[in-house]
Amino acid sequence: MCFSRALDSALPIAWVTADAAYGQERGFRRMLEEAGVGYVLAVPKSQQVKSPAGSWRIDHVLTGAPEDAWERISCGDGAKGPRVYDWAAVRLPTAQDNGGTPAHHRWVLARRSLARPEEIAYHLAFAPAEATVSELVRVAGSRWAIEECFQAAKNECGLDQYEVRRYVGWYRHITLAMLAHTFLAAMAAHALEKGAEETVRAASFHSPRQKYDGSWTLSIPRNLAIEAPAPAPLVALAPTPSSRRPPLPLPAPHAPRSGESRTTIILMQRQFTRLETSMPTRENGEVQLEY
């Protein structure tokens, strides 16, 4: 749906590139061909290639190709410099080769690693008749920039952090995440441009530092020199007391006061008297205790 909407829009789409998940879909390739849009799509090595001359596996198309069929071309700059590989291209025959001039051609494109020549990646291409192999390589290499963009959007904006079950929820999340990543990328590019301008516009004022006896010192211009204020008068402090002090008398031990003892005795007598009056007694004078 999103691809058909992009093709129906007014966007100037000249090329489409994608990984093998899209490249092996025949309906996707046919949609691009019917719209007249060129593509360079990665495909698995088991991909079937069909043409009026026959059908083959894509890894068998270049079997037995001479060494001069491989051309060393850079497909773009990476984190460690140019990404250089050996490339080989074969233009497939079309039904119009017997008569008129076709507007587009189909290609088989192979990429071989320099460090590990046994590792070969394959692409199917649909390009205008005037397109060159170098242009096909450039389009194929532009996919790394797209992969880096998606990886940055995943790390910075949570592009892959969604838990939805319907297309509408997925579409909204992806749209907002890509919009946020676009805003951050534009702000970063603007900051880099601003930083470059500030770096180019170097300060032209005279340095306040002057060399003196092998070292640099900061000099103050005469018109900005400030006279040091007069020192404030000293305030006389009180004399320090002597460290020897007369011994202080210790308080006498606390003795119980007579009033407290008397009060205690009176309370004890009152309790004893109350106890005597409350105890039941028998006729013989014995105290009856209840347990």
Task: Give residue-wise pLDDT tens across range 72-86.
Answer: 999 888 777 888 999
Q: What is the pLDDT of residues 241-270, one digit of tens each?
A: 666 666 767 666 555 555 544 544 444 455
Mean pLDDT over 163-187 rounds to: 91
Q: What is the DSSP letter of 287?
A: B
Q: What is the pLDDT of residues 262-291, one digit of tens each?
A: 544 444 455 545 545 555 555 555 555 554
Mean pLDDT of the chain: 76
Provide the token pair at 287.
Answer: 């105290």
| Residue 277 is assigned to a structural domain of this protein | no
CA distances from 220 to 54, 67, 205, 213 (A): 88, 73, 14, 18
Q: Where are the beta strands (DSSP E) in the chain?
A: 15-18, 38-43, 48-51, 54-57, 71-78, 81-91, 104-112, 120-128, 209-212, 215-218
Q: What is the pLDDT of residues 192-224, one digit of tens each?
A: 888 766 655 544 444 444 444 444 444 444 554
| Residue 250 is assigned to a structural domain of this protein | no
| Residue 230 is assigned to a structural domain of this protein | no
Range of the domain at 16: 2-133
Please say if the pLDDT value at position 5 is more than 90.
Answer: no
| Stronger pLDDT, 151 or 284, i.e. the higher one | 151
| Residue 68 is assigned to a structural domain of this protein | yes
| Stronger pLDDT, 205 or 156, i.e. the higher one | 156
| Residue 101 is assigned to a structural domain of this protein | yes
Mean pLDDT over 53-62 rounds to: 84
| Residue 51 is assigned to a structural domain of this protein | yes
Q: How many domains does the chain have?
A: 1
| Residue 8 is assigned to a structural domain of this protein | yes
From the list 16, 22, 136, the residue with the least C-alpha distance to 85 is 136
Mean pLDDT over 167-184 rounds to: 92
Please say if the pLDDT value at position 176 is more than 90.
Answer: yes
Q: Please tell me the predicted confidence (pLDDT) of residue 150.
A: 85
| Residue 58 is assigned to a structural domain of this protein | yes
